[in-house]
Amino acid sequence: MPTESLLLEIALPVPLARDFSYRFTPDGSEAVPPVVGDLVVVPFGRRRRVIGLVVSVQPLAPGVTTVDGVALKDVAEILDPAYRLGPVRMDVARWMADYYALPLGEVAPLFHPPAPGTRARPRRSRTERAYPDLDPADIRPTPQQKLPIDRAVRLLSQREYGAILLHGVTGSGKTEVYLAVIAAALARGLGAIYLLPEIALTPQTLARIKARFGDEVAAIHSGLSAGERCRVHEGAARGEIKVVVGPRSALFAPVRELGVIVVDEEHDSSYKQDEKPRYHARHVALVRGRSCGAVVILGSATPDLETVVGAREGRFDLCSLPERQGAGLPGVQVVDMRGTTVREGFTDELLTAMASQLEAGRQSLLFYNRRGFARVMQCSDCGEAVTCPNCDIAMTLHLRPRRLLCHYCGHTQPAGQSCPDCGSNAFLPSGGGTEKVELNLLAQFPSARIMRLDHDTTRRRGSYHRILTAFANHEADILVGTQMVAKGHHFPQVGLVGVLAADDGLAMPDFRASERTFQLLTQVAGRAGRTGPGSVIFQTWRPEDPVILAAAAHDPERFLALELPVREALGYPPYRRLARIGLLGRRMAATREAAEALAEALRAQLPSRSMQILGPAPGVFERLQDRYRFQILLKGDLTRKQKSWTAQCLRELKAAYKGLDAYLDIDPVAVF
């Protein structure tokens, strides 16, 4: 063991593009020296202690107490080796820092749980209610399923990296392919990571995987306590946990001998983190798979357009599952709401269909991607609506409890009975949301058992699981929800899916609006008729829209033929790379000035032939959380040097303009 001091270079979670020097002084002959990849606790500033990542270790000459004129501070603690970033995860962390133009220290926290080493408090055991149709018995794969399974097993046997795009219609058995490949990995002593887009899907999927593989499976996500996440992390590092399941954070778990990474619903925008570090888990999964020789399976009924083009160009091995197991795809009826009687948001066609399902003892699922009771509280005399004081956006009325709520910053205030501008009592709610839909359904079908799944009903711990399990066990006849109900759920008794505003997303000012609408409609339609006859109703004001017609026909090729030429003509992904610079500030004039100065500098420095610079322009929601928003779009490939230069410009801009926040978002999924 060393008796001499060591000089450590440590990456810290601070927005500075450099590492920091610290000293490790052994306190005895038994002291274990740190190595590259270790996590250490160090003093920072006057009173803070932070967790840093060791990136360099070298001997420290006797008597040296400063580096570059700064006194060396001692490392306070070396964390357990279970939290060490091995060579593969270290390579991935370095790649992320380079690709997303971030200091390595700001990427490192992704690779360890909060408060590493925290012990999980013992909890009373809870009996998990199993979802229906979770039989762990082996199921013989169909010939179509066998093809991707065989390709993955061949790669596992050779310990080669390979990426497979599993494009399967809803209900085609993609999950069985995932489980078969994971079983093959476990049989070879390899581990697996199974990514899901949202926590809401974790309990159902976890139950199915545990039924197959037992105690070697664990979930990790933000809904767990710090101690519970530490327990999963440490178990994976010791090799006790072989399969880790969860949303994007599960990707960084230290699974030993990683052989398989599954990215289920790979198209979902939830895989892109919308705060620093702004990474995309699908992209990072491919990098981690390549680094350790793992098989990466990207699965979806509606693959992302970048993934589709990647498969066409040979970067991914495309395998298709075009047929649903057990039942055909449900028929879709497009109902024109123009000139049609609409009762509290429901057409006669939808009401009749729901009544038929109730009479037959089957379930219905209604999708409306708006929460709350009313979108706006508006005065019918002066026309003014109540807006959020922080966001300049109309506040939504909620009834339970009765209040006005801003869905962007969380500001809440009492719902008054009169107009705050003119005092008129003609101050009425307009528009609607899932809360209003639920109440209207109770009026239409007073004997029906109705549940609601949205952000408001899932605030309490375990509420996702409770609602989904109850509905899957047919403890309710109708489930109303936002996009939470659309993703990946298996409800055997759902015979009808109703979409109240199928065209709602098409008006979003974003180049991905059509793609998102097609994906969402296809996904939610896929919840119907999974074990028997099923039908879907799209209520829409735009019945001739080609996106809606393609979704109604279950025809992704038709949609691709429409959308890809538009993307290519406009120079958007997947044909050109995209980066977005966001600027936020308390003062509108200063924020605009900073944005214009940055755009001018970018145009002077970046090559115009290969780079198109758009903006600056105000955000669609110009003021959110009491900050004004401007953005600049960069179309084209940014080199490493250009990314570094741009990141440095942003740091200088923030120093020059007090209160300004600026960030670089590589491969953004939204531009509004």
Q: What is the DSSP string of 411-445?
A: -EE---SS-TTT--S-EEEES--HHHHHHHHHHH-
Q: Is the pLDDT of residue 355 over 70?
A: yes
Q: How many domains does the chain have?
A: 4
Q: Do residues 490 and 562 share a domain?
A: yes
Q: Is residue 265 part of a domain?
A: yes
Q: For all residues of the chain together, what is the average pLDDT? A: 90
Q: Cα dihedral sign for 479, 212, 255, 194?
A: negative
- Mean pLDDT confidence for 367-378: 76
- Name 475's bridge partners: none
**pLDDT reported for residue 206:** 85
Q: Is residue 110 part of a domain?
A: no
Q: Is the pLDDT of residue 530 over 90?
A: no
Q: Do residues 193 and 68 share a domain?
A: no
Element (H, E) at 75: none
CATH of the domain at 55: 3.40.1440
CA of residue 324 relative to chain centroid, distance: 26
Give the DSSP letter of residue 265: T
Q: Is residue 19 part of a domain?
A: yes
In the chain, what percentage of residues exceed pLDDT 70? 95
Of the listed ranges 36-45, 161-170, 290-299, 385-394, the one predicted with least confidence = 385-394
- Mean pLDDT confidence for 341-352: 89
Helix (H/G/I), strand (E/B), else coil: 269? helix
Q: How confident is the model at residue 126 (pLDDT cuts 50, 70, 90)?
A: very low
Q: Do residues 168 and 186 share a domain?
A: yes
Contact between 268 and 522 (Cβ < 8 Å): no
Residue 117's contacts (CB-CB under 8 Å, 6 or more residues apart) are 79, 80, 83, 230
**pLDDT reported for residue 16:** 87
Q: Do residues 494 and 542 share a domain?
A: yes
For the CA atoms of the chain, what is the radius of gyration?
27
Q: Is the pLDDT of residue 128 over 50?
A: no
> Tell me: the pLDDT tens digits for 465-494?
788 889 989 999 999 998 888 877 888 899
Q: Residue 170 corresponds to which tokens in the numbers above?
A: 């809803």
Q: Is residue 11 part of a domain?
A: yes
Q: How confident is the model at residue 436 (pLDDT cuts 50, 70, 90)?
A: confident
Q: Is the pLDDT of residue 329 over 80?
A: yes
Residue 140's contacts (CB-CB under 8 Å, 6 or more residues apart) are none
CA torsion, points 563, 567, 568, 572, in degrees to nearest 10?
-160
Contact between 393 and 401 (Cβ < 8 Å): no
Q: Do residues 230 and 338 share a domain?
A: no
Phi, psi of 73 (to 5 degrees): -100, 155
CATH of the domain at 639: 3.30.70.260
Of the listed ranges 1-15, 594-608, 621-635, the one predicted with least confidence = 1-15
Q: Do residues 545 and 583 share a domain?
A: no
Q: Cα dihedral sign for 27, 28, 29, 30?
A: negative
Per the structure, the complete domain to which residue 627 belongs is given by 578-666
- Name the domain boundary from 321, 344, 361: 321
Task: Mark 73-106 as b/e (b = at least 16 C-beta within 10 Å).
Answer: eebeebbeebbbbeebbbbbbebbbebbbbbbbb
> Tell me: the pLDDT tens digits for 19-36?
999 999 887 656 789 999
Q: Is the pLDDT of residue 510 over 50?
A: yes
- Name the domain boundary from 86, 110, 129: 86
**pLDDT reported for residue 47:** 86
Q: Do residues 648 and 522 share a domain?
A: no
Q: Is residue 387 part of a domain?
A: no
The residue that leads in pLDDT, 468 or 123, is 468
Q: Do residues 24 and 82 share a domain?
A: yes
Q: How confident is the model at residue 587 (pLDDT cuts 50, 70, 90)?
A: very high
- Name the domain boundary from 566, 597, 622: 566
> Tell me: the pLDDT tens digits for 302-322?
999 999 999 999 999 999 999
Q: Is residue 118 part of a domain?
A: no
CA torsion, points 170, 176, 178, 180, in degrees to nearest 10?
-160
> Tell me: the pLDDT tens digits for 160-196?
999 999 999 998 999 999 999 999 999 999 999 999 9
Q: Residue 210 corresponds to which tokens in the numbers above?
A: 């545990």
**pLDDT reported for residue 548:** 97
The residue that leads in pLDDT, 610 or 6, is 6
Q: Is residue 122 part of a domain?
A: no
Residue 202's contacts (CB-CB under 8 Å, 6 or more residues apart) are 196, 219, 221, 223, 245, 246, 247
Q: Do residues 165 and 56 share a domain?
A: no
Task: Compute the distance between CA of residue 374 and CA of residue 389 in angstroms, rounded to an integer.
Answer: 18
Q: Do residues 355 and 449 share a domain?
A: yes
Task: Compute the distance between CA of residue 548 and CA of residue 556 in angstroms, rounded to an integer.
Answer: 11
Q: Do residues 518 and 620 share a domain?
A: no
Task: Compute the distance between CA of residue 505 and CA of residue 382 in angstroms, rounded to an integer.
Answer: 29
Strand order in the sheet with 450-453: 331-336, 535-540, 494-499, 363-367, 478-481, 450-453
Q: Is 502 exposed, middle or buried (0-12, 13-18, 19+ CB in 10 A)?
A: buried
Angle at 112 between CA 243 and CA 236, to 5 degrees: 25
Strands (E), 230-291: 243-246, 258-264
Contact between 599 and 633 (Cβ < 8 Å): no
- Mean pLDDT confidence for 509-534: 92
Q: Which region, left, alpha or beta, applies to residue 207 given φ > 0 means left and ψ of -120 to 50 means alpha?
A: alpha
> Tell me: the pLDDT tens digits for 76-111?
999 999 999 999 999 999 999 999 999 999 999 999
CATH of the domain at 186: 3.40.50.300
Angle between helices 640-656 and 588-605 (to 10 degrees): 150
Element (H, E) at 369: none
Q: Is the pLDDT of residue 419 over 90?
A: no
Q: Do residues 281 and 299 share a domain?
A: yes
Q: Is residue 533 part of a domain?
A: yes
Q: Is the pLDDT of residue 326 over 90?
A: no
